Structure 1
Amino acid sequence: MKTQVYILSAFTHNSNGGNEAGVVLDTDQLEKREMKLIARKLGFSETAFIFSSTSTDFKVRYFTPKEEVDICGHATVAAFSLMNQKGLIDAGNFKIETKAGILNVEVYPNGKVFLEQNKPSFLDVISAQEITNSLCINKEDLIPHFPIQIVSTGLKDIIVPVNNLQVLQEMNPNMDEITNISEKYGVTGYHVFTLETIHNLSTAHCRNFAPLHDIPEESATGTSNAALVCYLTKYNRLMGRQDKQTFSMEQGYTMQKPSEIIIHISNLQGEISSVKVGGYGSNFKMELLEL
């Protein structure tokens, strides 16, 4: 059996870098075990499978090489960029059915794709010692007065603040320890950031580690950066509280895959009322995969 798959990078920066994802449009005959096999053969951090839906415009399922996950920002950007490039959809607003709930997707006329996120949940605060040991850094490398905390806008990540770009870029984490801690707290992985950036207009520079899901490091993560922006809005008073704000996040530079993840948030009476994550997708490639 051969299956047609498409490959795109999402969250590209000036048409470069980004995070590769697989997309499968012809899903009618696929069972869960076959979707898992396709995702494993492609080997990307996530592959999106597009289904018809009776209640929304599309149903989307997401698989890592290891298992199914509820939602994935970069695979959603890739999927809707693909359908737009192929002329299957025009610019506009769409509703998708996912295991994280029914979410909105917006496709701009310039090809940029944005995915609605859940409102943020601020969960456990974790001790610095436990996390710094797994990242092989010192407590002094953290940003003072910023907590290490689990935050979610769809997937749970441990948000870790470090105080400069050099520490973040030279970090050599212990993947076994990150796996154990991720399993202990029931999170996808770590999203480590610094407010020192390469580009002046960027808000933060980030690295993401999810070895529990066979992803040692990921070059662009939508839901993690959405959670990070909500965290910064809560803890960084310098970011202000305007009704609507846009943030640009850097990721993937240590992997030679420079990526730009754009976050829109809206505030209502001092509370975050809307979170959207988006960016550009690359031109697609097509492959026939033998199952």
Structure 2
Amino acid sequence: MLDRVKKVAVFTTAPTKGNPAGVVLNADELSSAEMQGIAKKVGLSETVFCLKSEQSRLRLRFFMPDKETPLCGHGTIGAVWLFLKERDNLVSQTITVETKAGQLSLNYDELTEELTMSQCPYQSHPFKEDRAALCQVLGISETDLSEELPLEYGSTGVWTLLVPVKKAELLGKMQADNQLFPDVLTDYPYASIHPYAPSQKDGIDYEARHFSSATAGVKEDPVTGTASGSMVGALANSNKLDQLELTIEQGASLGKAGLVRACALNNQSTGEYAISISGRCCLGDF
């Protein structure tokens, strides 16, 4: 079955950069157990299975090596890009997909070659646990935490802890102990941790890393779409902005640098932030 898996590099145009996702098209005949087995053998942070949907163009299921997850940003973008490419249909259009986190809309722009993915409205939960313990599992000191940026749990479909630090150089020095995350993240024991910092690089607003949850089966995700969506939501909300667009670099410490463009737009009637992420893709090599 592994010969059916194609590798898509997401948030990059270089086959060995960005965040790779495994994608299996026409996967309706596969059982959940078979999908999980394939994802474990593939060994990427997520493998996406494309199925028929009665309400959308596609139904997507996302499997980490050790468990299914309701949503994956880079997996969604990679799967839709491959779906369109295989049909020689990479032209400007909008496509809807069904996921366990809800129905989502993606727009492909043939001029920029970007796919823009809508996400669920931003949700947040304050971090009330021990900051010193949090820093210890990340290998930093408490004085490294930024006092100006929001430290909170965020979700646009999957919960992650957003951890702002003062300088981007600190990101590369982190040595996370994922197995200790549940002891520290008592409100959301199986959340991931997403440290970030302002960037000094031209054209980049923030740099980030993403340490996977204790049960994900992988230690770190190179470039994450859902967490980038939570980042822009948290920053827009903390500054009470009507709209915020960011360019985020992630994966540099792993040699897989990729770029995510993330946008938050306040809905004046509900007070919620609509979130979208954008990126480019290419075929990768196993």
Query: If the length of structure 2 is used for normalisation, what is the TM-score?
Result: 0.90
State whether structure 2 residue 101 is matched by structure 1 residue 100.
yes
Kindly state the Cα deviation for residue 192 of structure 1 after the two structures are TM-superposed. Answer: 0.2
| Aligned amino acid, residue 107 of structure 1 | Y
Work out the percentage of aligned pairs sharing the same amino acid. 25
Secondary structure of 1:246's aligned partner: strand
Native 8 Å contact 2:73 2:226 kept in 1: yes
Counterpart position of 2:195: 192
Counterpart Cα distance in 1 of 2:42 and 2:13: 23
Native 8 Å contact 1:16 1:259 kept in 2: no
Counterpart Cα distance in 1 of 2:245 and 2:199: 18
State whether structure 2 residue 276 is matched by structure 1 residue 276.
yes
State whether structure 2 residue 255 is matched by structure 1 residue 256.
yes
Counterpart position of 1:140: 143
Counterpart Cα distance in 1 of 2:246 and 2:148: 22
Counterpart Cα distance in 2 of 1:258 and 1:53: 34
Counterpart position of 2:123: 121
Counterpart Cα distance in 1 of 2:3 and 2:236: 43
Native 8 Å contact 1:24 1:49 kept in 2: yes
Native 8 Å contact 1:84 1:91 kept in 2: no
Secondary structure of 2:55's aligned partner: coil
Counterpart Cα distance in 2 of 1:175 and 1:191: 12
Native 8 Å contact 2:124 2:154 kept in 1: yes
Native 8 Å contact 1:45 1:215 kept in 2: yes
Counterpart position of 1:84: 84
Kindly state the Cα deviation for residue 107 of structure 1 after the two structures are TM-superposed. Answer: 1.4
Counterpart position of 1:217: 220
Native 8 Å contact 1:136 1:171 kept in 2: yes
Task: Give unmatched runs, 5+ long, in structure 1.
Answer: none
Secondary structure of 1:168's aligned partner: helix
Counterpart Cα distance in 1 of 2:72 and 2:186: 19
Matches within 5 A, 1:226-245: 226-235=229-238, 237=239, 241-242=241-242, 244-245=243-244
Q: Alpha carbon RMSD of aligned pairs, Å? A: 2.2
Distance 1:157 1:2, change over 3 A: closer
Counterpart position of 1:56: 56
Counterpart position of 2:152: 149
Secondary structure of 1:216's aligned partner: coil
| Aligned amino acid, residue 70 of structure 1 | P
| Aligned amino acid, residue 32 of structure 1 | S
Kindly state the Cα deviation for residue 88 of structure 1 after the two structures are TM-superposed. Answer: 5.4
Moved more, 167-176 or 82-91: 82-91
Kindly state the Cα deviation for residue 183 of structure 1 after the two structures are TM-superposed. Answer: 6.8
Kindly state the Cα deviation for residue 184 of structure 1 after the two structures are TM-superposed. Answer: 5.7
Counterpart Cα distance in 2 of 1:33 and 1:88: 31
Aligned pair count? 281
Secondary structure of 1:208's aligned partner: coil
Counterpart Cα distance in 2 of 1:176 and 1:192: 17
Higher strand fraction: Structure 1 or Structure 2? Answer: 1
Task: Give unmatched runs, 5+ long, in structure 2.
Answer: none
> Which one of 101, 126, 130 corresponds to residue 133 of structure 2?
130
Counterpart position of 2:206: 204
